[in-house]
Structure 1
Amino acid sequence: MKKLTFTLLITLAAACLFSVPCNAKGKAKHVVFIGLDGWGAYSVPQAEIPHIKQLMANGSYTLEKRTVLPSSSAVNWASMFMGAGPELHGYTQWGSRTPELPSRVLNQHGIFPTIFQLLRDARPEAEIGCLYEWDGIKYLTDTLSLSHHAQAPDYNKHPEALCGMAEKYIKEKHPTLLAVCFDNPDHVGHQAGHDTPEYYAKLKELDGYVGRIIQAVTEAGILKETIFIVTADHGGIEKGHGGKTMQEMQTPFIISGKNIKKGGEFHESMMQYDVASTIAHIFGLKQPQVWIGRPMLQVFK
């Protein structure tokens, strides 16, 4: 009888070992991802961004996360959401809506696997949202895996609209995962130039929106169970991007909140596709074999 009981315990332990992800419980119940298009890491030290810098002080960050090439929008948003580079997901241009190269694999929705789909498959009832200003974002998220997605109205006429949409959605739905993608400071970088007074003024404005989103999470009563990620698709130089300078290729990655070390700056190598892997780790999800991203384990308690 004792031998049978021991054998049963060993069998159950083995089953758990091979069937449950090592981070099955996850690190937090909610993730709020905030993306600022065209935000170069070079700008952080001199930028007046108190809310973002408070997240940096309370969490972990790097100013050395690199883009995939080209250092442009769609290819890098795709890499952040898809856990792989353009050689695998196939989105290769600034405005890609469909892959220019055949995706290495397709999920059940006919798109390369995304972090949104991984979470949906693991938690069918999860509230998963994506709000954005640039229309191109929706082609990179697998909208069939989302509970809600919406584009904000014209920024030039309604500059605070996206922030307001995020505040409302957070307070009403308490999303498990929400991506909020602002289309600036990219526009200012193209019009007035990167590393200009106008560029830093825009960062200050966007920091105010970040503060409002943090406050919405607080008012929703989920702050203690939330991890914030603030990052960017690419930087820029003069009035452009897409090239191979560090001003274009290095972007900030800031992570703060539940179970995140107050560890300050880290210098381990990080690429865009590591963002998806880090979010997957937060939720205890097993990433697909085709992903090449690595979670930034050093940032977690």
Structure 2
Amino acid sequence: MRYLFIKKKFTFWSAVIFVCWTCFCFVQDSLSQVQGVKHVVIIGCDGMSPDGIQKAKTPIIDSLIINGAHTMHARAVMPTSSSPNWSSLIMAAGPEQTGITSNSWRPDKYALEPTAVGPEGIFPTIFGVLREHQPDAVIACFHDWGGIGILLERKAFDVIEDTEGPVNTTQQAINYFKEKQPTLTFIHLDHTDGAGHQYG
């Protein structure tokens, strides 16, 4: 049972890595150069299995897949802990470059030094790159796992909200998007990972 959960988590991270890598390349090349695209929303569900998405009735997710970027065949980085993988997604580099090798990583507490450091003392993120290239961009993050907050270049954001639970996180993101229409929005939901840890 534990192996199956880990295998599914690998596959999920694979899908998310591709989406974020695509978004990173897209952001780096400048949003204004892509015809008709003004807003990018990255939705990450920690621990969600692509197998589950493919088997379940998920019309909204299906629509996002059809109209957005996705893959079911990319791979996670090792180790498959949350911080190394989320940082790889938002930094477009593996732990050997970011220096983020475990969930206990902190900007001032690490075993491996990053190969590059941005203005806030951590490996550069897609958010910092966008801020550098488009200073007027509106950048937002809504998350319900505190570990995400330490991986972010906080000065790159207009808003970062650490909320309680997926419903509150999603609602705050929706409200902010309606009001500000951010250039880049990152929504991180942790409930599937929490369920996996609790129920296996």
Instruction: State the shift of 1:121 in Å.
Output: 0.5
1:216-257 deviations in whole A, cap 9, x for unaligned?
A: xxxxxxxxxxxxxxxxxxxxxxxxxxxxxxxxxxxxxxxxxx
Cα separation, 2, equivalents of 1:160 and 1:101: 36
Amino acid corresponding to residue 29 of structure 1 in structure 2? K
Q: Equivalences for 1:141-220 in 2 at 5 Å?
A: 141-153=152-164, 155=165, 159-193=166-200
Q: Is the 8 A contact 2:31 2:38 kept in 1?
A: no
Q: Which residue of 2 aligns with 1:132?
A: 143
Q: Which residue of 1 aligns with 2:84?
A: 75
Amino acid corresponding to residue 154 of structure 2 in structure 1? T
Q: Which residue of 1 aligns with 2:100?
A: 91
Unaligned ranges ≥5, structure 1: 1-20, 194-301
Instruction: State the shift of 1:75 in Å.
Output: 0.4
Cα separation, 2, equivalents of 1:178 and 1:86: 24
Amino acid corresponding to residue 76 of structure 2 in structure 1? T
Q: Is the 8 A contact 2:106 2:150 kept in 1?
A: yes
Percent of counterpart pairs with the same letter? 38
CA gap 1:26/1:97 in 2 versus in 1, 3 angstroms = farther
Q: Which residue of 1 aligns with 2:58?
A: 49
Q: Is the 8 A contact 1:116 1:128 kept in 2?
A: yes
Cα separation, 2, equivalents of 1:149 and 1:126: 15
Q: Is the 8 A contact 2:140 2:184 kept in 1?
A: yes
CA gap 1:100/1:26 in 2 versus in 1, 3 angstroms = farther
Cα separation, 2, equivalents of 1:110 and 1:68: 22
Larger radius of gyration: 1
Q: Is the 8 A contact 1:97 1:136 kept in 2?
A: no
Cα separation, 2, equivalents of 1:22 and 1:168: 28
Amino acid corresponding to residue 192 of structure 1 in structure 2? Y
Q: SS in structure 1 opposite 2:191?
A: coil
Amino acid corresponding to residue 78 of structure 1 in structure 2? S
Amino acid corresponding to residue 41 of structure 1 in structure 2? P
Cα separation, 1, equivalents of 2:77 and 2:150: 18
Cα separation, 1, equivalents of 2:104 and 2:96: 16
Q: SS in structure 2 opposite 1:29?
A: coil
Cα separation, 2, equivalents of 1:42 and 1:160: 23
Higher relative contact order (CA 8 A, sep 6+): 1
- Structure having the higher helix fraction is 2
Q: SS in structure 1 opposite 2:71?
A: strand
Amino acid corresponding to residue 107 of structure 1 in structure 2? G
Q: Which residue of 2 aligns with 1:39?
A: 48
Q: Is the 8 A contact 1:95 1:136 kept in 2?
A: no
Normalising to structure 2: TM-score of the pair? Answer: 0.78
Cα separation, 1, equivalents of 2:52 and 2:169: 23
Instruction: State the shift of 1:61 in Å.
Output: 2.9
Unaligned ranges ≥5, structure 2: 1-27
Instruction: State the shift of 1:144 in Å.
Output: 1.3
- Structure having the higher strand fraction is 1
Q: Which residue of 1 aligns with 2:6?
A: none
Normalising to structure 1: TM-score of the pair? Answer: 0.53
Instruction: State the shift of 1:56 in Å.
Output: 2.1
